[in-house]
Amino acid sequence: MAKIEWSDSLSLGIGELDGHHKELLRIMSMLLDALHKNENEDTITILLTKLREYTIYHFNAEEAFMEEIHYPLRLKHVQRHTELKRKVKALQYSRFHHENLSSDDYKKLLSAWLLDHILDYDFKVAKYLSEQKNKPEDFRDKVKKEWAKSDSNKSQDPEKSSD
Protein backbone atom coordinates (compact mmCIF):
# COMPACT_ATOMS: atom_id res chain seq x y z
CA MET A 1 0.00 0.00 0.00
CA ALA A 2 1.36 3.42 -0.94
CA LYS A 3 1.93 5.70 2.01
CA ILE A 4 0.93 9.29 2.50
CA GLU A 5 4.32 10.97 2.74
CA TRP A 6 5.69 14.46 3.19
CA SER A 7 6.92 16.25 0.11
CA ASP A 8 8.68 19.61 -0.07
CA SER A 9 5.88 20.70 -2.39
CA LEU A 10 3.68 20.72 0.73
CA SER A 11 5.97 23.10 2.59
CA LEU A 12 4.41 26.42 3.57
CA GLY A 13 7.76 27.88 4.59
CA ILE A 14 6.38 28.27 8.13
CA GLY A 15 8.54 25.95 10.23
CA GLU A 16 6.15 25.19 13.06
CA LEU A 17 3.18 24.46 10.79
CA ASP A 18 5.29 22.41 8.38
CA GLY A 19 6.49 20.37 11.35
CA HIS A 20 2.89 19.77 12.40
CA HIS A 21 1.94 18.68 8.90
CA LYS A 22 4.84 16.23 8.82
CA GLU A 23 3.70 14.76 12.13
CA LEU A 24 0.10 14.46 10.92
CA LEU A 25 1.30 12.62 7.84
CA ARG A 26 3.45 10.34 10.00
CA ILE A 27 0.48 9.47 12.23
CA MET A 28 -1.72 8.90 9.18
CA SER A 29 0.89 6.60 7.64
CA MET A 30 1.11 4.59 10.86
CA LEU A 31 -2.68 4.31 10.96
CA LEU A 32 -2.93 3.25 7.32
CA ASP A 33 -0.12 0.74 7.82
CA ALA A 34 -1.88 -0.71 10.87
CA LEU A 35 -5.17 -0.97 8.95
CA HIS A 36 -3.46 -2.59 5.98
CA LYS A 37 -1.79 -5.17 8.25
CA ASN A 38 -5.07 -5.81 10.09
CA GLU A 39 -3.52 -4.86 13.42
CA ASN A 40 -5.57 -5.40 16.56
CA GLU A 41 -8.35 -2.99 17.50
CA ASP A 42 -6.39 -1.47 20.41
CA THR A 43 -3.57 -0.37 18.10
CA ILE A 44 -5.96 1.18 15.60
CA THR A 45 -7.98 2.87 18.36
CA ILE A 46 -4.80 4.35 19.83
CA LEU A 47 -3.69 5.65 16.42
CA LEU A 48 -7.11 7.15 15.65
CA THR A 49 -7.10 8.84 19.06
CA LYS A 50 -3.57 10.14 18.48
CA LEU A 51 -4.61 11.46 15.06
CA ARG A 52 -7.63 13.23 16.51
CA GLU A 53 -5.67 14.75 19.41
CA TYR A 54 -2.82 15.92 17.18
CA THR A 55 -5.29 17.34 14.67
CA ILE A 56 -6.87 19.44 17.43
CA TYR A 57 -3.43 20.53 18.70
CA HIS A 58 -2.33 21.52 15.19
CA PHE A 59 -5.54 23.35 14.35
CA ASN A 60 -5.37 25.33 17.61
CA ALA A 61 -1.78 26.36 16.81
CA GLU A 62 -2.68 27.24 13.23
CA GLU A 63 -5.65 29.31 14.37
CA ALA A 64 -3.51 31.20 16.89
CA PHE A 65 -0.96 31.87 14.13
CA MET A 66 -3.66 33.19 11.79
CA GLU A 67 -4.93 35.47 14.52
CA GLU A 68 -1.41 36.73 15.22
CA ILE A 69 -0.84 37.69 11.58
CA HIS A 70 -4.39 39.12 11.26
CA TYR A 71 -5.29 36.72 8.47
CA PRO A 72 -8.50 38.09 6.89
CA LEU A 73 -9.97 34.67 5.95
CA ARG A 74 -9.39 33.18 9.39
CA LEU A 75 -13.06 32.54 10.19
CA LYS A 76 -13.61 30.56 6.98
CA HIS A 77 -10.43 28.60 7.68
CA VAL A 78 -11.57 27.86 11.25
CA GLN A 79 -14.90 26.58 9.87
CA ARG A 80 -12.95 24.19 7.67
CA HIS A 81 -11.00 23.01 10.72
CA THR A 82 -14.30 22.27 12.46
CA GLU A 83 -15.40 20.14 9.50
CA LEU A 84 -12.11 18.25 9.47
CA LYS A 85 -12.25 17.56 13.21
CA ARG A 86 -15.74 16.14 12.66
CA LYS A 87 -14.40 13.85 9.93
CA VAL A 88 -11.70 12.47 12.22
CA LYS A 89 -14.29 11.96 14.95
CA ALA A 90 -16.53 10.19 12.41
CA LEU A 91 -13.67 7.81 11.59
CA GLN A 92 -13.38 6.97 15.28
CA TYR A 93 -17.14 6.52 15.51
CA SER A 94 -17.20 4.26 12.44
CA ARG A 95 -14.42 2.13 13.84
CA PHE A 96 -16.06 1.88 17.25
CA HIS A 97 -19.32 0.72 15.67
CA HIS A 98 -17.49 -1.81 13.48
CA GLU A 99 -18.56 -0.21 10.22
CA ASN A 100 -16.75 -1.81 7.32
CA LEU A 101 -14.30 0.77 6.05
CA SER A 102 -11.33 -0.60 4.16
CA SER A 103 -7.82 0.76 4.56
CA ASP A 104 -8.27 2.32 1.10
CA ASP A 105 -11.40 4.12 2.36
CA TYR A 106 -9.38 5.54 5.23
CA LYS A 107 -6.57 6.53 2.89
CA LYS A 108 -8.93 8.36 0.54
CA LEU A 109 -10.59 10.22 3.39
CA LEU A 110 -7.34 11.11 5.17
CA SER A 111 -5.30 12.08 2.15
CA ALA A 112 -8.14 14.10 0.66
CA TRP A 113 -8.85 16.18 3.71
CA LEU A 114 -5.27 16.75 4.78
CA LEU A 115 -3.68 17.30 1.39
CA ASP A 116 -6.60 19.35 0.06
CA HIS A 117 -6.55 21.40 3.23
CA ILE A 118 -2.82 22.11 3.02
CA LEU A 119 -2.84 22.79 -0.72
CA ASP A 120 -5.94 24.96 -0.64
CA TYR A 121 -6.44 26.62 2.73
CA ASP A 122 -2.96 26.61 4.28
CA PHE A 123 -1.19 27.82 1.16
CA LYS A 124 -3.50 30.84 1.18
CA VAL A 125 -2.23 31.66 4.69
CA ALA A 126 1.39 31.36 3.51
CA LYS A 127 0.64 33.54 0.47
CA TYR A 128 -0.99 36.19 2.66
CA LEU A 129 1.99 36.19 5.01
CA SER A 130 4.40 36.54 2.10
CA GLU A 131 2.38 39.41 0.64
CA GLN A 132 2.38 41.21 4.00
CA LYS A 133 6.15 40.89 4.31
CA ASN A 134 6.64 42.26 0.80
CA LYS A 135 3.94 44.89 0.99
CA PRO A 136 5.19 48.45 0.57
CA GLU A 137 4.79 50.52 3.66
CA ASP A 138 1.48 52.34 3.79
CA PHE A 139 1.96 55.96 2.76
CA ARG A 140 0.13 57.27 5.85
CA ASP A 141 2.37 55.24 8.16
CA LYS A 142 5.44 56.53 6.33
CA VAL A 143 4.26 60.13 6.70
CA LYS A 144 3.54 59.59 10.41
CA LYS A 145 7.04 58.18 10.96
CA GLU A 146 8.66 61.04 9.08
CA TRP A 147 6.55 63.53 11.02
CA ALA A 148 7.49 61.93 14.34
CA LYS A 149 11.15 61.92 13.32
CA SER A 150 11.09 65.60 12.37
CA ASP A 151 9.28 66.49 15.61
CA SER A 152 11.85 64.62 17.70
CA ASN A 153 14.72 66.32 15.84
CA LYS A 154 13.22 69.74 16.54
CA SER A 155 12.76 68.98 20.21
CA GLN A 156 16.38 67.81 20.51
CA ASP A 157 17.86 70.96 18.94
CA PRO A 158 15.75 74.05 19.63
CA GLU A 159 18.33 76.21 17.80
CA LYS A 160 17.36 74.69 14.44
CA SER A 161 14.99 76.82 12.52
CA SER A 162 12.16 75.49 10.50
CA ASP A 163 11.41 76.56 6.96
**Separation CA 85–CA 108 (nearest Å):** 16
**For the CA atoms of the chain, what is the radius of gyration?**
24
Position 163 in a domain = no
Assign residue 77 the CATH number of its domain.
Answer: 1.20.120.50
Q: Is the pLDDT confidence value at 15 over 70?
A: yes
Position 23 in a domain = yes
Q: Could you report the per-residue pLDDT of 63-112, keeping only the tens digit for each?
A: 999 998 889 999 999 999 998 888 888 888 877 777 777 777 777 777 77
| Domains identified in the chain, total number | 1
At residue 159, the pLDDT reads: 47
- Decide which of 160 and 56 is more confident: 56
- Specify the DSSP class assigned to residue 117: I
At residue 141, the pLDDT reads: 57
Position 108 in a domain = yes
- Specify the DSSP class assigned to residue 119: I
pLDDT confidence tier of residue 144, bands split at 50, 70 and 90: low
**Separation CA 88–CA 95 (nearest Å):** 11
Position 1 in a domain = no
Position 160 in a domain = no
Q: Is the pLDDT confidence value at 139 over 80?
A: no
For the entire predicted model, the pTM comes to 0.74
Q: Which domain holds residue 50?
A: 11-155
What share of the chain has pLDDT > 70, as a percent? Answer: 79
Query: What are the residues whose beta carbons fall under 8 Å from the beta carbon of 29, sequence distance 6 or more?
Result: 3, 4, 5
Position 4 in a domain = no
Position 112 in a domain = yes
**Separation CA 161–CA 153 (nearest Å):** 11
At residue 146, the pLDDT reads: 61
Position 5 in a domain = no
